[in-house]
A and B are shown apart, each in its own frame.
Chain A
Amino acid sequence: GEDVEQSLFLSVREGDSSVINCTYTDSSSTYLYWYKQEPGAGLQLLTYIFSNMDMKQDQRLTVLLNKKDKHLSLRIADTQTGDSAIYFCADAYSGNTPLVFGKGTRLSVIA
């Protein structure tokens, strides 16, 4: 079945950029998402990209999609302590198939 892989930990200094990477196995993935989860909370949708796009920018967030390598990344510019959380990559083949999530990357921001 579909698999989504992420590195488990990332540590950055406040003010630096963070880059969180994700690889997926289903080349037919149409919808790709990034979610943020803070301790004890549900998942918050951050941003998304469709497979017909290579890049999407939304304020401090930039998503890059490399379909050939099945690689997705999330760049957070000017990382703040409030960005400390677990970030999940998720994909779906179509709008009628449920999202498959990675295990999440724990981002720690050092002041």
Chain B
Amino acid sequence: DTGVSQDPRHKITKRGQNVTFRCDPISEHNRLYWYRQTLGQGPEFLTYFQNEAQLEKSRLLSDRFSAERPKGSFSTLEIQRTEQGDSAMYLCASSLTEGDGYTFGSGTRLTVV
């Protein structure tokens, strides 16, 4: 197992465009999390899944954001009509059981120009 994979590593997009990021968690991990990190800040929670069920969404996740985990394996995070304020590092993490620390991927850095 190669850990949590995120694709792409970097994405530059024009304001107003839609973008989609992918996360492949560690295969036996049933919990998957999305966080956003801006410069000088800690990761901020966006949403999480247990298997294919999306159990919690942050108030940070506006209507332009949607996340899916259709078969309980990989997940996608889509941002529609991107804005400059969406520029950030988007981190995915997974875990196996309650109390386990998360294993993070390397992140997708989004730049909206």
Segment from A11-19, A61-69, A93-101 that makes contact with B: A93-101
Cβ B43 vs Cβ A43 within 8 A: yes
> Which of A30, A40, A45 contacts B101, CB < 8 Å?
A45
Q: List, in ascending order, chain B residues with CB within 8 A of A82's CB.
A: none
Q: Is B102 an interface position by the 8 A CB rule? A: yes
A41 contacts B106, C-beta separation under 8 Å? yes
CB A88 to nearest CB in B, in angstroms, measures 5
Interface size on B, residues (CB 8 A): 25
Report yes or no: B98 in contact with A42, Cβ–Cβ below 8 A. no
B103 close to chain A: CB less than 8 A? yes
- Do A95 and B98 have beta carbons less than 8 Å apart? yes
Q: Enumerate B4-18 residues with CB–CB distance to A below 8 Å.
A: 4
**Complexed CA–CA distance, A30 and B4 (Å):** 25
Candidates A43, A97, A103; contact of B104 at CB < 8 Å: A43
Shortest Cβ distance from A101 into B: residue: B42
**Interface of B (DSSP majority class):** loop
- Determine whether the beta carbon of A42 is less than 8 Å from that of B91: yes
| B 16-49 binary contact with A (CB < 8 Å = 1; else 0) | 0000000000000000010100001111110010
Q: Is the CB of A98 within 8 A of B33?
A: yes
Within 8 A of B (CB), among A40-87: 40-45, 48, 50
A94→B97 CA distance, assembly (Å): 11
Write out the residue numbers on chain A whose beta carbons fall within 8 Å of the beta carbon of B103.
45
A-contact 0/1 string along B46-80, CB 8 Å cutoff: 00100000011000000000000000000000000
For the complex, what is the distance from the CA of A29 to the CA of B98, rounded to whole Å?
Answer: 13
Which residues on A are within 8 Å of B, measured CB to CB? Answer: 4, 30-31, 33, 35, 40-45, 48, 50, 88, 90, 94-104
